[in-house]
Structure 1
């Protein structure tokens, strides 16, 4: 019989489970470039700076915001800039999902995986409950979890299911699904790669002090090119509330997770 711990681990998906630097982030840059008439293509640093504000977890909204900011920098007044959000979403999806609605052939089809199913199996064997809370659409999240990782109906709360981060509603919903009416788990670890992810944990803690809340940061691949950028991003996540930051999610081993159950914060 598999032992049970008093711990829940909830994972973000983008930048944690899959590398989206060549998919979501590329689609975002394509979209901004398209709607600014090829006058501005945001760099990875531009996108990181936007996301470090903690409120632009939705890449459709992030695309729109960068388009607005470009035109404002050119002397236009934001209220007078006419943007069709649905048109922005449609263009973004044409780059990300591709042109075939049944068999996606866009950037999503080539996202590198950042963990293996065997890692999740190790958590299960250790009695650690796990699930996913992501700002990705349910279709995109299911694509990576079920079709690419081969998971069978994993616990997932996606964009359509809850308000965007840093609102913790989706995190609470994921926990409820994992507990499934059973005893409350004492420790919740949320693993993410952005400021918004860490702020989600902070907000959850402020609303529910009956549990121990732990924010674990993961460095997305696109920031690991230089030591300077890696260190700067690490400090950004720690400042936002991360208790520890790893280069890859699989460094968060069952042994390290279980230290939180006994009250240790030393990884």
Structure 2
């Protein structure tokens, strides 16, 4: 008997390229709140995220600001950064200054998959949905407005604790399984935190098969050295396989993961 599969996708770095949007807004934010003294490089942002607990880019921005000033000899208590002010600045770059009519970096994100790919999964009997640390507004912007999906299963930032807590992954699975309790769950993500989420899910629900699939985001594929190092970090964090684009995870590849 062929096992049923549920594929849950992260969004940033998997469905859309956020190298020029979220990551750019993060760098802008750190630069602004360090008085233009420090702008983190793409590699420095990756190094922070490789710690596995900075999936939220607002929190990552704040942490890099703190670390910059700590290197200057200032304590966190001295700084008294206001988190909401940081979030507001970040959003003004990412969404744009008008919260109703978005004109920011989000408008220019390249898509990394097409609706036809998801239709291919549906035809193969593979249920699919999304679990992302993005806000529901940002996630639905790409899923509904850009990809044209009708009411996709989505667990976003407002719906569950941040990764690597697997609560949101469980919630997405519950919405999709519809009696498929024996199904294999594949979580597809581009960060160490995503792979840790799968590991924690396995610890909490060992009766089910959980498979982590790593995707290389476009910004790490510019050189072979960086690509290979990033791929290794995902494997070390628990990825069963690492792919350069999400559409490589076709029904045949999914079936081979079951049998691996």
1:7 touches 1:128 (CA, 8 Å); kept in 2? yes
Q: TM-score, normalised by structure 1?
A: 0.95
Q: Which residue does 1:56 correspond to in 2? A: 54
2-structure distance, mates of 1:154, 1:103: 23
2-structure distance, mates of 1:200, 1:183: 21
Give yes or no for the alignment of 1:234 onto 2:227.
no
2-structure distance, mates of 1:227, 1:187: 32
Gaps of 5+ in 2: none
Runs of 4+ in 1 over 6 A off after TM superposition: none
Query: What SS does the corresponding residue of 1:25 show, helix, strand or coil?
Result: helix
Q: Which residue does 1:264 correspond to in 2? A: 259
Mapping for residues 1-267 of structure 1, pairs under 5 Å: 6-180=4-178, 182-260=179-257, 263-265=258-260
| Cα shift at 1:99 | 1.7
User: Residue deviations 1:195-254, cap 9 Å, x none?
Assistant: 000000000000011111100000000000000000000000000000100000000011
* Alignment: residue pair count: 259
User: Residue deviations 1:168-211, cap 9 Å, x none?
Assistant: 0000000001124x231421000000000000000000001111
2:3 touches 2:184 (CA, 8 Å); kept in 1? no
1:134 touches 1:141 (CA, 8 Å); kept in 2? yes
Query: What SS does the corresponding residue of 2:169 show, helix, strand or coil?
Result: helix
- CA distance change for structure 1 residues 146 and 185 in 2, over 3 Å: closer, same or farther? farther
Query: What SS does the corresponding residue of 1:139 show, helix, strand or coil?
Result: helix
